[in-house]
Amino acid sequence: MAEEFYVRIRYKNKTVKYKLDDPNKNLGLLMDNLKMSRDKDGNPHFDLPNVDSDGVIVEYFFGKKDENGNDIILHPKIGKTEQCLRDYNVKTGETLDVIMDPVAG
């Protein structure tokens, strides 16, 4: 039996323990799944709107601290290559921040 893999996802003032079936899934797919995830009462885990308060379209990325304490953004693609949590050396139990990024129009 494979070891349970989970991360703590933090956005604003809320942190949720998020179990992953496959830490090798593309980060874009993981973010899409997070946007649709619900708690036991059927409420969204996080409010991740598609536009900000100024009406600007936004995207979301995962971020974390590297071993030196520097912030890094976990990009879902580098060039044409899809990236996963393992590509960024994310370990089970680690905390990932959700980062909102306005899309230039």
**CATH code of residue 63:** 3.10.20.90
pLDDT per residue over 79-105, tens digit each?
Answer: 989 999 999 999 999 999 999 998 876
pLDDT per residue over 41-91, tens digit each?
Answer: 999 999 999 988 888 899 999 999 888 989 999 999 999 899 999 999 999
Domain count for the chain, please give it.
1
Domain span at residue 52 reads: 5-102
Collapsed DSSP state (helix, strand, coil) of residue 47: coil
Give, as one character, the DSSP assignment of residue 25.
Answer: S
Query: Whole-model pTM?
Result: 0.87
Give, as one character, the DSSP assignment of residue 68.
Answer: T
CA-nearest of 28, 29, 26 to 87 is 26
Residue type, 13: N
Pairwise CA distance, residues 96 & 105, whole Å:
27
- Residue for token pair 């536009």: 51
User: In this predicted structure, what is the pLDDT of residue 105?
Assistant: 62
